[in-house]
Structure 1
Amino acid sequence: MASRIGTSEKVEVWLSSESMPGDKKWFQDPAELTHQLSRQPDIQWTAPEATSRSTIIISPDHTYQEILGIGTSVEETTVHNLSKMSSSVRTSILRQLTDKGDQGIGFNFFRITLGTSDFTAQSFYTYNDIADGETDFELKQFSIQKDIDLSIINTIQELLAAAPDTLLFASPWSPPAWMKTNGSLKRGQLKEGIEYTEALAKYYRLAIQAYLEQGIPIYAMTLQNEPLLETDYPSCYMSPERQKELALALKKEFTEHGLETEIWIFDQNFSDVRAYVTPILDDIDGFAAVDGIALHDYEGEPELMSEIHASYPDKPIYLTERSVWGTQGADRIALYFRNYASSYNAWVTMLDSRIGTHQWLGTPGPTMFIQDATEADRYWLTPEYYLLGQFTRFVRRGAVRIESTYGSTDTVTNVVFRNLDGSVIAVVINQTESEQEFRVLCEGNQFTAVLPAKTVGTYCWRTT
C-alpha cells in the first residue's frame, strides 16, 4: 500500500552551517557557528501551487538501496588521543558520537584497522611480526596483544557498551612482513604461491576470532586497504586475481570456523573500480565469495558506483573512507547515497592541535574532534561533526533511499531517505553564498522553506 502524509503532519527542521571548511585554523582554536544541529520552527504542509521557486519532487514509493550505517573510524591515532583523556571525558566523546538523541549524532557504523595504518602514534605492526628471515605458516606467534596494550580493544569495548547496535568493519593495511616480497610492511606485494594466500587468509580469520573473544564482533572486513597503492607506510599491492584467490581462501576459513563476517573487495577509488572488480565478480566462484564492494573517494566520480550497481545489483556498495568539509562535502555525501552507497565512513575522528599523531605522508585537514595537545581533556568540535550529524541523527539502519529530483548546486541539492518507522528524512544542501528559497512536492502536498547560505537542512516528517 502506498504511503501518505498525515493530514495533521508537520515538517520538523534542523540546520547546521559551515565555517572555514578544511581550514587548518581549526587546529588552533574553536570558533562560533551560526547553526549546529539547531532546531527550527516546524513547517506546515499546504496544497501545491504554481511557483518559480526551486522545487524538489519526492516519490516515497520509488525506493533504492538499503542503508547499513554511517559513521567514522576508530583508527589508532584517535584511540591514542582518547587514551590520554580522563575516563569521563572519553565517555562523553563516545556518547557524542553514538547517542541518537540530543547528546550525540547517532553514528552506528565504525571502521577499525587490523594492525596499524598510517594514522597511528606507534611503530608499524601487524599481529604476526617475527624476526627477519623467519616464517610462521602455522601462525604460532599470532597475537593481538598490542591492540590490548594500546587501549584499542578497551576503546572499542567502551564504544559497543555505549551503543550496542553499533556495527564494525575492519581493514588491514599490510600482511605481516614475512609474507611479502620485500620483507617490509611498507610497499611490496604478497609473495607468490597458494601457501602465502592461505596463510594470510588464516591470519585474517584468527584476527576476527581474537576480536570476537574480546566481545567484539566484526560485521565485515575488506581484504586490503587500497590494494593498488604501494607507499612508505603499511601498504601492499594486490592484483584483482590475487584478491579473488584470497577471497576464496578466506571464505573457506570463515565457513569452516563458523564465522559470519562479510568479505568486501577492492577498498579504493572510483576511478579504478570497474577494472578491479570485474575479474573477481565475473568469475562464478569469486562472485559467490564476495559480499560487497568497498570504495574510497580520492579519484573519480560517484556516478561510477551507479555503473557498478547496474552491473552487479546483488553486491552492495560501501563508501569506506573519505573525510569531506563544508556544504560542498555534505553534497558529496549526498551524491554517494544517490549513487547506491549503502554506508559512509569518515576517516580519522580526532587529531590534536599539533595535527598529531600520525604517520601519513601529507598534512591532514581538520577532524571532527580536535584535542588540545597541551591539555588532553580539552577538545572542540569542528562544523563537520554537525554537518554529518544532519544525516546520522536522523537516518537509521534499514532506511532506504527514495526518489527525489537532485536540484542544482546553484540553488539547493538533496538526498532523501525513508526509515523503517515511515519517517521521511530529506537532507537539503545550500552551497551558495545567499539564502535559497525552495519547495518540496510530495504525495500531493508541498512545503516551502528558506535555507540560509552555506547551510545544510534536515527536514523530517512521517507518512501513514
Structure 2
Amino acid sequence: MHNTKLLSDAVEVWWSSEVDPGKLKWFEGPRDIPYRLSRQPDIALTVPQETETTRITITPSHAGQQILGMGTSMEDTTISNLARMSPARREEVLRLLVDEESGIGLNLIRITLGTSDFTGQAFYTYNDMPEGVTDFEQRYFSIKKDVELGIVETVQQLTALAPQVRIFASSWSPPAWMKTSGSLKRGSLKEGPEYTAALAKYYRLAIQAYQEHGIPIYAMTLQNEPLFETDYPSCYMPPERQRELAVALRQELDQHGLETKIWIFDHNFSDAWAYVTPILNDAAGCGAVDGIALHDYEGSPEVMSEIHAAYPDKPIYLTERSLWGTAGADRMAQYFRNYACSYNAWVTMLDSNISPHQWLGTPGPTMMIQDAADADNYWIIPEYYLLGQYTRFVKPGAYRVASDYGSKETVTNVVFRNPGGELVAVMINQSDAEQEFCVLCEGRQWLAKLPAKTVGTYRWRAGAGTVTG
C-alpha cells in the first residue's frame, strides 16, 4: 500500500474493484482482484470549462454532520478465529484492520457484552445464575469468560496498535434471570423498576470491568435489535422500557464518574420513527440519550435525514450492516448523505467452513476469510479494499459536505472535508462500463475516468492549488 499523506496540490487517486460481491465462492479460496486500493496517476486541477461528461458539483462551505469513525466488529466469531493463529499472524491481521498506513485505518470497533449469535461458544452473559436464582446485588457478576476466550486480550492488542480506535458495545440479551423467558433466547426484561435498575447496574459493571482492563467503552447501545425475538440471544424491549433503562443507566454512569455515551434503538430504518419518538419526546429520556443507533436490514436511509431534522442534537450512527461490491459502497455513501456519523460492518473474519456462528441463516463472506485447515492462512476479499476507500482517507472529525449525488448509471458519490482541510470524494461506478466525469469545486475543475464496477477515492487540498488552463 502507498503512503496516504497529501503530497501535492493535484488530485490524488486510488481505486478498488468488486469481484463476485457477496458470493459464497469466496469461502473456497483467494482470487485475483484487479484494483486493491491501487494508487493511480494524479489528476490536474484546471480552470472550469464546458464539457459533455457527467458533472458533479461540490460545495465545501455547505457542511453536514461530523464523522465519528468507521469500522467493523470484534465479536467472538472473529476473535476465536484470530485465537487459532500464531501471535505474529494475528498481529498482522489486526494491523491490516487498524493501521493508518499499512492497513485501512479502521477506528470504530463494536464489541458484544456477552455472546451474540456470531460465536462458537455456549451462549453466556456476565451474570448467569441457576434457574430460579436471582442476583440483584450482582455479587456474581464477572467478565471472566471474556478474559478466558481472549476477547479482552484481543481488544487490548488492537487498541495498543491503534490508540485512535474507539470501542462501543452492544448487548444481545440481559442475564436469563432478568427475563420473562428465563433464557437468553427470546423473552423481554421482566416488569418492575427493580429489573430496570438491575440491568442498568449490570451495564455499568460491564463498562467498569472493561475500563479496569484498559479498554474505555466510548458508547453502548442498550439492546441489539430490541424489536426482534429469536432462538439466539435476543430480548424484546419496547421504547417505553428502553427510555426507563436509559434514564437508569445515565444515573449509574453519572454516579460512578463514567463518560460512556448512551445510544438508543440499534435496529432497522423501518421502525426508527415509532421507536425514538417516545424516548426523545420525553424530557428525562432525551436528557439521558447521546445518540441514535440504526441497522440497515429493512427500510430506507432517508429516514435518517428526517430524524436528524427532528432531533438535530442527537447524532445518528449506522452500527450494523455488512455490504458487498460497488452497490454496497453506494449504500454506504447514502448513509453518510443522510446524516450517519459512523458506519460499522458486522463480523470481520469467518473461516472457509463459514464458521463459527449460530446465526439462523448462511452468512455472506467477511472481509477476511481464514483457511479452516491452516489457521495461519487467510485471504482478503474485495470488501476489505472497498471499505478502505473510505476508512483510509476520511478521518474522525471530518465533515460531510454538499455534492450532487450523480446517478447509478454514471457515478454516485459522497464528499468529506477532513480536519486537516483536504477534501475526500468517494466516487462509485456501479455500471458495466467505464465512466467519465467532471468535478467542479471552488472555482476549479478536474476530469476523471473510473473503470466499471470500481470505487475511486480522490483527495485534494480545499481552496488551494495551482490551476492550469
User: Could you state the TM-score of these two structures normalised by the residue count of structure 2?
Assistant: 0.97
Q: How far apart are the structure 1 equivalents of 2:89 and 2:460?
A: 34
Instruction: Specify the alignment match of 1:304 in structure 2.
Output: 303
Name the SS of the counterpart of 1:295 in structure 2.
strand
Deviations 1:353-400 (A, max 9, x none): 000000000000000000000000000000000000000000000000
Q: Kindly provide the amino acid, as one letter, of the partner of residue 217 in structure 1.
A: P
Name the SS of the counterpart of 1:315 in structure 2.
coil
Instruction: Specify the alignment match of 2:165 in structure 1.
Output: 166
- Report the alpha carbon displacement of residue 414 of structure 1 after superposing the two structures with TM: 0.1
Instruction: Specify the alignment match of 1:176 in structure 2.
Output: 175
Does 2:29 correspond to 1:42? no
Name the SS of the counterpart of 2:374 in structure 1.
coil
Instruction: Specify the alignment match of 1:63 in structure 2.
Output: 63
Q: Which 4+ residue blocks in structure 1 deviate beyond 4 angstroms? A: none
Q: How far apart are the structure 2 equivalents of 1:168 and 1:422?
A: 26
Alignment of 1:24-423 (within 5 A): 24-101=24-101, 103-423=102-422
Name the SS of the counterpart of 1:403 in structure 2.
strand
Deviations 1:29-56 (A, max 9, x none): 1100110000000000111111111111
- Report the alpha carbon displacement of residue 234 of structure 1 after superposing the two structures with TM: 0.1
Instruction: Specify the alignment match of 1:424 in structure 2.
Output: 423
Q: How far apart are the structure 1 equivalents of 2:28 and 2:198?
A: 46
- Report the alpha carbon displacement of residue 106 of structure 1 after superposing the two structures with TM: 0.5
Q: Kindly provide the amino acid, as one letter, of the partner of residue 77 in structure 1.
A: T
Deviations 1:323-378 (A, max 9, x none): 01000000000000000000000000000000000000000000000000000000
Aligned alpha-carbon RMSD (Å): 0.8
Name the SS of the counterpart of 2:305 in structure 1.
helix
Deviations 1:148-206 (A, max 9, x none): 00000000000011001100000000000000001000000000000000000000000
Q: Kindly provide the amino acid, as one letter, of the partner of residue 69 in structure 1.
A: G
Percent sequence identity is 69
Q: How far apart are the structure 1 equivalents of 2:401 and 2:172?
A: 35
Name the SS of the counterpart of 2:375 in structure 1.
coil
Q: Kindly provide the amino acid, as one letter, of the partner of residue 75 in structure 1.
A: E
Instruction: Specify the alignment match of 2:3 in structure 1.
Output: none
Q: Kindly provide the amino acid, as one letter, of the partner of residue 23 in structure 1.
A: K
Q: How far apart are the structure 2 equivalents of 1:204 and 1:197?
A: 11
Name the SS of the counterpart of 2:376 in structure 1.
coil
User: Could you state the TM-score of these two structures normalised by the residue count of structure 1?
Assistant: 0.98
Q: Kindly provide the amino acid, as one letter, of the partner of residue 298 in structure 2.
A: E
Q: How far apart are the structure 1 equivalents of 2:324 and 2:112?
A: 23
Name the SS of the counterpart of 1:336 in structure 2.
helix
Q: How far apart are the structure 2 equivalents of 1:77 and 1:67?
A: 28
- Report the alpha carbon displacement of residue 99 of structure 1 after superposing the two structures with TM: 1.1
Q: How far apart are the structure 1 equivalents of 2:49 and 2:11?
A: 18
Q: How far apart are the structure 2 equivalents of 1:97 and 1:462?
A: 26
- Report the alpha carbon displacement of residue 428 of structure 1 after superposing the two structures with TM: 0.1
Q: How far apart are the structure 2 equivalents of 1:375 and 1:74?
A: 21
Structure 1 spans left out of the alignment, 5+ residues: 1-5
Q: How far apart are the structure 1 equivalents of 2:461 and 2:353?
A: 45
Q: How far apart are the structure 2 equivalents of 1:379 and 1:27?
A: 10
Q: How far apart are the structure 2 equivalents of 1:186 and 1:20?
A: 35
Q: How far apart are the structure 1 equivalents of 2:215 and 2:104?
A: 22
Name the SS of the counterpart of 2:198 in structure 1.
helix
Name the SS of the counterpart of 1:97 in structure 2.
helix
- Report the alpha carbon displacement of residue 404 of structure 1 after superposing the two structures with TM: 0.3
Q: Kindly provide the amino acid, as one letter, of the partner of residue 11 in structure 1.
A: V
Does 2:448 correspond to 1:457? no
Q: How far apart are the structure 1 equivalents of 2:355 and 2:19?
A: 22
Q: How far apart are the structure 1 equivalents of 2:255 and 2:48?
A: 59
Q: How far apart are the structure 1 equivalents of 2:199 and 2:392?
A: 38
Q: How far apart are the structure 2 equivalents of 1:457 and 1:200?
A: 45
Q: Kindly provide the amino acid, as one letter, of the partner of residue 417 in structure 1.
A: F
Q: How far apart are the structure 2 equivalents of 1:416 and 1:70?
A: 15
Deviations 1:12-33 (A, max 9, x none): 0000000000000000011001
Q: How far apart are the structure 1 equivalents of 2:128 and 2:99?
A: 38
Q: How many residues align?
A: 457
Q: How far apart are the structure 2 equivalents of 1:98 and 1:185?
A: 32
- Report the alpha carbon displacement of residue 277 of structure 1 after superposing the two structures with TM: 0.2
Deviations 1:179-237 (A, max 9, x none): 00010000000000000000000000000000000000000000000000000000000
- Report the alpha carbon displacement of residue 9 of structure 1 after superposing the two structures with TM: 1.8
Q: Kindly provide the amino acid, as one letter, of the partner of residue 317 in structure 2.
A: Y
Name the SS of the counterpart of 1:161 in structure 2.
helix
Q: How far apart are the structure 1 equivalents of 2:422 and 2:154?
A: 33
Q: How far apart are the structure 2 equivalents of 1:160 and 1:46?
A: 42
Q: How far apart are the structure 1 equivalents of 2:356 and 2:206?
A: 25
Q: Kindly provide the amino acid, as one letter, of the partner of residue 58 in structure 2.
A: I
Q: How far apart are the structure 2 equivalents of 1:123 and 1:251?
A: 31
- Report the alpha carbon displacement of residue 302 of structure 1 after superposing the two structures with TM: 0.2
Instruction: Specify the alignment match of 1:3 in structure 2.
Output: none
Q: How far apart are the structure 1 equivalents of 2:271 and 2:305?
A: 14
Q: Kindly provide the amino acid, as one letter, of the partner of residue 38 in structure 2.
A: S
Name the SS of the counterpart of 1:244 in structure 2.
helix
